[in-house]
Amino acid sequence: MTLKIAFVGVGNMASAIIGGLRASGYSGDAIVGSSINVEDHPRLEQRFGMTMYADNKEAVAAADVVFLCVKPNLLQSVVEEFATVVRPEQLFVSVAAGIEIGALESWLGQPVAVVRSMPNTPALVGAGMSGLIANEHTSEDQKNWVANAFDSFGSHVWIEDEAQMHTVTALSGSAPAYFFRMLEVMIEAGVAQGLDEATSRKLSTYAMKGAAAMVTELDEDIAQLRKNITSPNGTTQAALETLEEQGIQSLMTAAVDACAERSKELGKEFANK
């Protein structure tokens, strides 16, 4: 049986999820969405073959699975507005950063299956990575369905302790920005040495893309992959020694720690509202 899916809020991340579902063979007839931006409805309906509503209640009432894709600061009011049509057998999947499962359960008003997710923006190009955690009301079949949905635009990991979602944010949710910043610096360095920007960008970005592909596709230790291209007293060694001297270990550790700590702070702010 094909489950009926509703998306409350249809922005970039929701579009990535819908695109993945459609690419994996899910019918547009089984997908509905709701958004206050009614001027976007015709474009979304044409793009995905789905039906859009202006009323969240109308979208949620007919759905088996509901993706909550609105901004975190708006989520409570949105959920409480449609809570009267929530059914016990429904599954709710949140992509709102910082909103804990307990808060969602409270707003929904009754025991229902809830999965909290932390996807990242590479989902927009089918290369997303998502951390997932489910509440006690979520069945194995529902968890498998959610895993397949998120794999349709990348991959996933399940987390057992919700506190670890802060680490997921630091290692995956926010991490693409770290790599973007690194690429910016590498491209600028290439330009400073005489290359044009387009050439410098292509060389740097394909090197990063290739390194990521080797790590994900080859069954080899990352340290060994690094050693394989580091000849004694060679060019790579010179670069790596400079990175170590400049403190790459402490720098990246501090960045990950700062991201996780800020995620905790935001979580407390939302919990206290």
Mean per-residue pLDDT of the chain: 94
Is 4 a residue whose pLDDT tops 80? yes
The 10s digit of each residue's pLDDT in 180-193 is: 999 999 999 999 99
Same domain, 137 and 190: no
Which CATH number fits the domain that encloses residue 20?
Answer: 3.40.50.720
Is 273 a residue whose pLDDT tops 80? no
Binding site annotation covers 263?
no
Same domain, 144 and 211: no
Does 272 map to a domain?
A: no
The mean pLDDT value for 156-182 works out to 96
Same domain, 148 and 259: no
Q: What is the DSSP letter of 232?
A: T
Structure tokens at 197: 């920007």
Same domain, 196 and 135: no
Binding site annotation covers 152?
no
pLDDT at 140: 96
Q: What is the pTM of this model?
A: 0.91
> Which of 165, 187, 210 marks a domain boundary?
165
Residue 118: what residue type?
M
> Which of 139, 165, 191 marks a domain boundary?
165
Q: How many percent of the chain have pLDDT more than 70? A: 99
3 state SS of 197? helix
Q: How many domains does the chain have?
A: 2
Helix, strand, coil share of the chain (percent; to 5): 60, 15, 25
CA angle 113, 90, 36 (to 5 degrees): 110
Rg (CA), the chain: 21
pLDDT at 1: 64
Residues 12-46 as b or e (16 or more Cβ within 10 Å = b): ebbbbbbbbbbeeebeeebbbbbbeeeeebeebee
Same domain, 198 and 136: no
Is 200 a residue whose pLDDT tops 70? yes
Does 49 map to a domain?
A: yes
Is 58 a residue whose pLDDT tops 90? yes
> Which of 165, 200, 229 marks a domain boundary?
165
Which CATH number fits the domain that encloses residue 198?
Answer: 1.10.3730.10
Is 111 a residue whose pLDDT tops 80? yes
Residue 215: what residue type?
V
Spatial distance between the Cα atoms of 193 and 144, rounded to a whole number of angstroms: 50
Same domain, 64 and 121: yes
Same domain, 61 and 109: yes
Structure tokens at 36: 């206050």
The 10s digit of each residue's pLDDT in 11-40 is: 999 999 999 999 989 999 999 999 988 999
Query: Which domain covers residue 78, as residue numbers?
Result: 5-165
Same domain, 190 and 247: yes
Same domain, 153 and 187: no
pLDDT at 267: 81
